Amino acid sequence: MVMKTGDGFQAKELPQDLKATLPQVYVDDMLVTLKYFIDEEKSHLWIKDHDVCARCQHKPCLYFCPVGVYTLGQDGKIQVAYQSCVECGSCRVACPYHNIGWILPRGGFGVAYKFG
Ligand code: SF4
Ligand code: SF4
């Protein structure tokens, strides 16, 4: 089965037998266990060239980020809410035009994971 998002971007749904082998993960429940040390002065994520985004037909960044860092602003430009980033690294590889600048947050800033 193919799922369609608002702008026509298509993603395939996993087959039922594969789905059954995967653990149930509730991202929202996991996010509340994280601690964020937000760098208010410097973003570790940025759009390199908004003109490239304007030509990017499907804008997959609006879908692949697990915490919705990328949104479309009223001005039609991609907005980056870097404060919510969980540093999964997906946007380093998933932007088809390599148009997202990504560095680790400065020392002492960023997300802290709690294990166990
Ligand atoms: S996927 Fe990349 S090029 Fe496309 S809109 Fe998002 S940041 Fe811009
Ligand atoms: S690193 Fe992951 S969480 Fe952070 S902006 Fe990129 S896709 Fe979103």
Sign of CA dihedral 105, 110, 111, 115: positive
Ligand 2 atom index nearest CA of 45: 5
DSSP 53-80: HHH-SS-THHHH-TT--EEE-TTSPEEE
d(CA 64, CA 95): 9
d(CA 56, CA 93): 15
Ligand 1 atom index nearest CA of 100: 7
- Residue 100: strand, helix, or coil: strand
pLDDT in tens, 60-70: 999 999 999 99
Whether 47 lines ligand 1, by a CB cut-off of 6 Å, is: yes
Q: What is the DSSP letter of 104?
A: P
pLDDT, average across residues 95-104: 96
d(CA 98, CA 77): 16
- Domains located in the chain, CATH noted: 25-112 (3.30.70.20)
pLDDT in tens, 88-99: 999 999 999 999
Residue pair 86/112 in contact by the 8 Å Cβ criterion: no
Whole-prediction pTM value?
A: 0.80
